[in-house]
Structure 1
């Protein structure tokens, strides 16, 4: 079965494209799951970083480890642009299955991350070393996503909208960052 790239969200397409660029820049003949992990961790916007941070993962450290791992991959000069390896295709197909299991119409970045955690590869080993497992990931995803479903190609902007656009006045008060109320009796 050929993977249907049109079923990826915009952010997922960007992650796959960034993974391909990472492989091409390093001269790697194949796009490995580690390239995909590094691309997902490199996204400032999106769901992957907030989910991992909610799990207590040091995302910066994980990103450095993934970048270091990329240097150990085989490289070749010249030739065709890098193609997805068999492991990467399995990750993409499993991500599509995860999206279906969550009743989502498109494969989003969280489906890719979940698939990386479940599919045997070097990326999975790196995630496990950083205490990322399927159970905790699903719990963190539930907290970030809520009951939202992926029904279009730009769902990531809808997750955590309150945190993104709102101001938590209670948290600001705890931090002492609120100005005193004028005209209030002491």
Structure 2
């Protein structure tokens, strides 16, 4: 699943882990995913939530009202709750239904709304948000984005010409569906994401003999 996540969606998961640490919780629930979606700031989900009057400060207050703070000790690896895992599964379903071969922040938000019973849904309702209208707004914004994209126009100069010349943008290739699916490496991919989400020591190193699947993991 994570191999289909866009760069912004990955950032949401990292921010969700940071929110769990901030609250002293040893889990990532739907509420942390919601805070990650808001905190990411530039994706479709963040824009939709902002348009509906949702901000990070108020959302954090509501989350703490509902679940409080933890003991303060947080393990290095923070697992997803069953509801959060369900949100991730639903986000994949939403992407498929929309005909998208990637999972972006918009799909995570749609999965969050569709799950509908977790702390995140309660937080949004407490903030006066109509969950049905969130979905409508996401679909509308995706339609507007598609229209702008189909309008054409030159790409213009890139901000990272040297990096583009010598490197490969795996995130872009994944979004365009140009990478082969990674099978049987879900645990390894989740482990890499957990390492990337750390505050320190967050540089995963893939070591192994040629042909063992290091490139596949990087693409995943």
TM-score normalised by L of structure 1? 0.68
Alignment of 1:60-139 (within 5 A): 60=56, 62-66=58-62, 68-69=64-65, 72-75=68-71, 77=73, 79-119=75-115, 120-139=117-136
Q: What CA distance in whole angstroms lies between the structure 1 residues aligned with 2:66 and 2:11?
A: 19
| Contact in 1 for aligned 2:38/2:49 (Cα 8 Å) | no
Q: What CA distance in whole angstroms lies between the structure 2 residues aligned with 1:110 and 1:117?
A: 11
- 1:143 and 2:140 matched: yes
Q: What CA distance in whole angstroms lies between the structure 2 residues aligned with 1:101 and 1:94?
A: 10
Runs of 5+ consecutive residues of structure 2 not aligned to the other structure:
148-169, 173-220
| Contact in 1 for aligned 2:125/2:131 (Cα 8 Å) | no
Shift of 1:69: 4.5
Q: What CA distance in whole angstroms lies between the structure 1 residues aligned with 2:124 and 2:93?
A: 20
Counterpart for residue 7 of structure 2: 10
| Contact in 2 for aligned 1:29/1:75 (Cα 8 Å) | no
Q: What CA distance in whole angstroms lies between the structure 2 residues aligned with 1:66 and 1:18?
A: 17
Q: What CA distance in whole angstroms lies between the structure 1 residues aligned with 2:42 and 2:102?
A: 18
Q: What CA distance in whole angstroms lies between the structure 2 residues aligned with 1:47 and 1:28?
A: 27
Runs of 5+ consecutive residues of structure 1 not aligned to the other structure:
155-186
Q: What CA distance in whole angstroms lies between the structure 1 residues aligned with 2:6 and 2:94?
A: 14
Counterpart for residue 158 of structure 2: none
Shift of 1:49: 2.7
Q: 1:34 aligns with which of 31, 53, 64?
A: 31
Q: 1:20 aligns with which of 17, 21, 24?
A: 17
